[in-house]
Amino acid sequence: MQDPIPESNYMINSLTNRREELFPGKIIEHKQEENKFYFSSANEVTLLVQVLTSRIIRFRYSPDGYFPPDFSYAIDPDFKPEPPKVEFTQKPDSFQLTTELVVCIIQKEGLQIKILDKSGNVINEDEKGYHWEYDLQTGNNTVKMSKWVQSGEHYYGLGDKSCNMNLRGRRLQNWGSDTYGYSRNSDPLYKSIPFYFGLHQKTAYGIFFDNTFRTYFDFAHERSNLTSFWAHGEEMNYYFFYGPGLTEVAEQYALLTGRSAMPPLWALGYQQCKWSYYPESTFKGIAREFRERQIPCDALYLDIDYMDGFRCFTWNKEYFPDPKRMISELAADGFKTVVIIDPGIKIDKNYRVYQEGFQNGYFCRRGDGPYMKGSVWPGLCHFPDYTHPVVREWWADLFEELITVDGVRGVWNDMNEPAVFEQGTFPDDVRFDYDGNPCSHRKAHNIYGMQMARATYMGVKKFCYPNRPLVITRSAFSGTQRFSSTWTGDNVASWDHLWMANIQCQRLSISGMSFVGSDIGGFIETPTGELYIRWLQLGIFHPFCRTHSSGDHGDQEPWSFGPEYTLLAKKFIELRYRLLPYIYTTFWQYVTFGTPMLRPLTFMAQDDTETYHRMAEFGLGDNFLICPITQAEVDGRWLYLPHGTWYYFWDNTIYIGGKEVWAQAPLDRIPFFIRAGSVVPFYPLMQYVGEKEITELTLNLYYTEGSFTSTLYDDGGDGYAYEKGIFTERKFIVTGTQVSLTVSQEIKGAFEPTYTTYKIILHGLPFGPETIRIDGEPLLLDTVVDPELDFEPESQNEKFPVIYVRRDFKTLNIQGIASDPMLPEPEMA
Ligand code: GLC
């Protein structure tokens, strides 16, 4: 039989199932309702262009002029922007919508879109644009979009993909999958985040394809001049974000899909997990080791074996006879207990959760009626339909006893892709309520994990009150950041996986999910001491910092690799605790502005095309640059430093960025640079958050010539007062010349921290201080051998000038005599 498909067809998933492509005709009608513009074609296609803000535009297409109710799990219900000013004009061939920042042109013939900036540069342009195929087998449309690749265009984003950071040349898909021991380039993985960034001519935009079916993205892979995305169902419904900065695009996306709340500060501490710690004596033994060895730790995890036969919300009373007592004893020693909860509910007539779910119809049903059955850890299970609001309420309430009676402080959701043994996931015919928009698994699959995390969050938040909740999820869709943190799933103890952990966490961070980490050391198999330390060095710079490993492969605690590695593990976990106020401030920026916490090099310097293919280096917050060592037996690495002046954390060597530098990093260092001009707050060393009342906060000030501003956020680290404005935002404006340094502090907010003094340690002063004035009054300078910063035995005796000042000072001024007329010579390797 002759293939009826024209040559020009692409976005092909299966050659045998290709269908004829259908296209919109000419626009014959249009109308405007406030910021919504409808364009209807001769063959009944309708395009709805909704201008949400001056830089966010939504494009929604209907092949038959009918739009089903507008419903999305991804969009933040609190996103209700004021409609922006839009100018509408018509030309013979096109319509034009103009906002403050962009111009959107809609072709009358074929409905292709072109978006330009105000200077007339093309930002994004359709090729065929919207078109579709009708799929006889499923009765759905495959909805498609194709766009021209702009000259020199690069692509980033898409969540947890384990491939290179720059996506140009790749085809990827979203279908949340349980991918035990995945590898580089495995696709799809656990999460579905159909959001990408385009960058060309140093200008960035983003596209979020809000479609929960299996989605595909082709970035100049099938055809080098085209980028396309498509889905096996539902609508072509996407949002365009204008930057021009990559970070601005990420912030726009976070505005639309929502932001996380502030976590409890302890959740940014070090966490220890294993599949599984049991019985109680083993679990408490782990806690004891941490405290005896004085290795800081805040949270300990119970994996599936704490349950009775893997029944969620039960305890194995043989292993854990008195969970409440055990958890409170651990809590008295500063440990928070986090437990795993999976979606599979064991089919067992004597099990309360099963009975309630069964009797009330809370489980997902097959297309023909019976409850869906699938095998996971407990054996055959039913699975709650978390897309039903009543089921979410029920699920949330199931946490009451675990939290209010037993004292659990956080919940870890796993296997929620949803994963089913042997079959992989649910069959396609399984039905979901989808919040009153009934559908099959084809549509609900990718948001199942997100809705589970949402229901869990509702419960943990409710019962932990007035404390803040911690939820961790393996599966996610766009918007999951509103409910949960995440990790990168079942990785392997290998150098390649350490490389991937770095890329995946950065990529998740720019895709809306900054509260992210990997299983430190690798989940499958056992790392060598060296690999464990290299991984931990990276992990302490990830917002979610947890060692986790599978029980069948040896021990993986910080002390499992021999004394010299134990010391190193302790040193890096201690550093994490010292950095907590900086990491917390970075979290607050993420919560407040949607700014990714982990920032790929290109996001730090998108004007520098050198960064476009580099991916190992990344920023944490405004002032850190980190680059992990992902190779065995090396004592340093080359890396690219973005422009600006940087201090090497370990020895204060000054580097000028905008080029490759060699960072000396034997096993007791990770390449870690601090931006000149920054003020980096350090907590005193603590074994867990809240161990000590902090009376003095250390501020490490890194001298710069010129001016630079750093921020410090504080709200006490738990509770909800911050939502009512009880927090402080402190800005330190550092201005340096060859013979002076001025620090001004601007304080906003009503929170009173416990510390009353700052200990300011001055790094890199190019002059000898002569007079010091604090708010006009003279002050004495001291020097410290800084045992806190200085991990290098050989430089133990180096002295740093230090000043003790009252917390709420306004201006600190240091005048000096130039000891060296020049800036310290940048040390180059
Ligand atoms: C899954 C999780 C892993 C967990 C295990 C047992 O493989 O990804 O983290 O330890 O299940 O619950």
CA–centroid distance, 250 to ligand 1, in Å, is 30
* Contact (CB, 8 A) for 433 and 425: no
Q: Is the distance from CB of 598 to CB of 586 less than 8 angstroms?
A: no
Mean pLDDT of 466-472: 98
Atom of ligand 1 nearest to the CA of 474: 8
Q: For residues 659 and 679, state if they share a domain.
A: no
- 414: annotated active-site residue: yes
Of 234, 385, 490, 525, which is the active-site residue? 490
State residue 128's pLDDT score: 96
Around 143, how many Cα atoms within 13 Å sit in the side-chain half-sphere? Answer: 23
Greater model confidence, 630 or 779: 630
Domain end among 652, 674, 696: 674
Instruction: Give the dihedral sign, CA 290/295/298/302.
Output: negative
Residues 707 and 645 in one domain: no
Ligand 1: lining residues by beta carbon, under 6 Å: 275, 303-304, 340, 414, 474, 489-490, 523, 548
Using most ligand atoms within 8 A of CB, pick from 275, 342, 381, 472 the residue to mutate for ligand 1.
275
Looking at the fold, whether 811 and 687 belong to one and the same domain comes out as yes
CA 224 vs CA 162, 206, 397, 501: distances in Å: 22, 20, 52, 29
Tokens for 465, please give them.
Answer: 């009150």
Question: How distant, in Å, are the alpha carbons of 149, 419, 526, 608 from that of 173?
Answer: 19, 17, 31, 29
Q: Nearest to residue 274, comparing CAs of 257, 262, 289?
A: 289
Is residue 658 located within the same domain as residue 732? Answer: no
Q: Is residue 136 part of a domain?
A: yes
Per-residue pLDDT reduced to its tens digit, 318-371: 999 999 999 999 999 999 999 999 999 999 999 999 999 999 999 999 999 999
Best residue for ligand 1 mutational test, from 301, 376, 523 (most atoms within 8 Å of Cβ): 523
Per the domain annotation, does 465 fall within a domain? no
pLDDT recorded at residue 781: 74
> Is 777 in contact with 753 (CB distance < 8 Å)?
no
Domain of residue 750, CATH code: 2.60.40.1180
State whether 77 and 215 are in the same domain.
yes
For residue 769, the cross-strand partners are: 816
Q: How much is the average pLDDT of 743-772?
A: 94
- Whether 424 maps to a domain, the answer reads no
Dist. CA 422–CA 437, nearest whole Å = 29
Q: Is 668 a catalytic residue?
A: no
3-class secondary-structure state, position 593: helix
Q: Give every CB contact of residue 396 below 8 A, 6+ residues apart in sequence.
A: 455, 456, 458, 459, 462
Residue type, 160: D
Q: What is the mean pLDDT of the chain?
A: 94
Q: What is the arithmetic mean of pLDDT over 811-823? A: 75
Query: Are both 72 and 189 inside the same structural domain?
Result: yes
Distance (Å) from CA 489 to ligand 1 centroid: 8
| Distance (Å, whole) CA 780 – CA 773 | 9
Domain boundary among 647, 674, 701: 674
Distance CA(549)–CA(508), nearest Å, equals 21
Compute the distance from residue 275 Cα to the ligand 1 centre, in Å: 7
CATH of the domain at 211: 2.60.40.1760
User: Which of 157-161, 432-436, 512-516, 823-827 comes out lowest in average pLDDT?
Assistant: 823-827
Distance (Å, rounded) from C-alpha 140 to C-alpha 156? 29
Assigned domain for 428 exists: no
Beta-carbon count within 10 A of 282 CB: 12
CA neighbor of 824 nearest in space, from 751, 780, 783, 766: 766
Question: Could you read off the pLDDT of 265-287 as tens digits, one per residue?
Answer: 999 999 999 999 999 999 999 99
Residue 376 lies in a domain: no
Q: Are residues 609 and 620 in the same domain?
A: yes
| pTM, to two decimals | 0.96
- Residues 662, 701 within the same domain: no
The residue among 616, 645, 674 that closes a domain is 674
One of 187, 210, 417, 622 is an active-site residue; which one? 417
In this structure, is residue 126 part of a structural domain? yes
pLDDT band of 2, cuts 50, 70, 90: very low
Three-class HEC string of 160-211: CCCCCCCCCCCEEEECCCCCCCCCCCCCCCCEECCEEEEEECCEEEEEEECC
Same-domain status, 658 and 777:
no
Looking from the CA of residue 523, the nearest atom of ligand 1 is 9
Per the structure, the complete domain to which residue 124 belongs is given by: 27-201+203-243
pLDDT of residue 14 exceeding 80: no
Q: Is residue 36 part of a domain?
A: yes
Q: Are residues 653 and 743 in the same domain?
A: no
Residue 782 — very low, low, confident or very high, per pLDDT cuts 50/70/90?
Answer: confident
Give the model's pLDDT for residue 1.
40
pLDDT at res. 201: 95
The count of structural domains within the chain is 3
Q: Is the pLDDT of residue 290 over 60?
A: yes
Residue 282 lies in a domain: no
Task: Determine whether 490 is an active site residue.
Answer: yes
Whether residues 82 and 208 share a domain: the answer is: yes
304 Cα nearest atom in ligand 1: 12
Q: Give me ligand 1 centre to Cα 493, in Å.
A: 15
Q: How far apart are CA 116 and CA 560, in angstroms?
A: 57
Please pick, among 187, 303, 414, 786, the residue that the annotation labels catalytic: 414
DSSP secondary structure, 270-304, as one string: -EE--BT--SHHHHHHHHHHHHHHT----EEEE-G
In terms of domains, do 650 and 782 share one?
A: no
Tell me, what's the pLDDT at 797? Answer: 52
How far is the centre of ligand 1, averaged over its atoms, from the C-alpha of 720 (Å)?
A: 32
